[in-house]
Amino acid sequence: MTTAHDPRAYAASVGLDPARLPRHIAIIMDGNGRWAQRQGKERAEGHAQGAHSVDVITEECCRLGLGQLTLYCLSSENWKRPKPEIDFLMALLKEYLLAERAKIQEQNIRFRVIGRRDGLPDEVLSEIDENERLTRGNTGLTLCLAINYGSRAEIVDAVQALAARVQRGELEPSAIDERAISAALYTGGMPDPDLLVRTAGEMRVSNYLLWQISYAELWVTQKFWPEFDPPLLHDALRDFARRERRFGGLT
């Protein structure tokens, strides 16, 4: 097997310790509009360039043999943006789902989406469902897109689901523990993120995976998402590898 097809060898070739890579990276992709404005372009062009960055970073995570990449694509609060921008984002999302389908299959990626389906156009939901169906048996990187996602809404939905089970007599209240809550979240069955990356220099988590990132390492860059490239991802991974993760205990 050549270096290009051996994730451990590839990681070592770019100065990363394969044994100290995170299993799951979550990214808050921020700054598309600001990047475009600084370039003298329309905000839509920033979103289009941001979609290109998604493609590039997903491929790099595949090369490194990472387990999961979760990307914050559209928050439940983003519906407050002007309708033309929302319409463009929906069209861009549909285009991405169609254009990347073959590549996702070729790279053995398992495609997932988390978030509420309410409000998403039927044609977008159809393409989401098709990508999830086609890749259900894939065993490589899990690419999870958070679309119409808000962590507080996710927790509310999980609590309501558990309460309904209690009401039906399927679950004792005393049996509701951290494991039960984790399983009821949109991310049930997924590992928690080890590393949370945020672009554009913002120092907040913005209602993203609040339960799941309890012990994630945080890494923030001033670069906007359209500027985020593999060397910058490597910088984040090197910094992660230098940290001691104690999970509330001692080393």
d(CA 48, CA 174) in angstroms, rounded, equals 48
CA atoms within 13 A on the CB side of 199: 25
d(CA 209, CA 171) in angstroms, rounded, equals 25
Query: 208 near 26, Cβ under 8 Å?
Result: yes
d(CA 54, CA 125) in angstroms, rounded, equals 19
d(CA 54, CA 143) in angstroms, rounded, equals 10
Q: Which of 78, 138, 157, 192 is catalytic?
A: 78
- Based on the residue annotation, tell me whether 78 is a catalytic residue of this protein: yes
- Based on the residue annotation, tell me whether 235 is a catalytic residue of this protein: no
d(CA 219, CA 195) in angstroms, rounded, equals 7
Q: Which of 30, 32, 131, 148 is catalytic?
A: 30
**Other Cβ atoms within 10 Å of 186 Cβ, number:** 21
d(CA 216, CA 118) in angstroms, rounded, equals 29
Burial 81-119 (b: 16+ CB within 10 A, else e): eeeeeeebbbebbbebbeebbeebeebebbbbbbbeeee
What is the spatial order of strands in the sheet that 142-149 belongs to?
A: 110-114, 142-149, 68-75, 24-28, 195-198, 217-220
Q: One-letter amino acid identity for 149?
A: Y
Q: Which residues are catalytic?
A: 30, 78
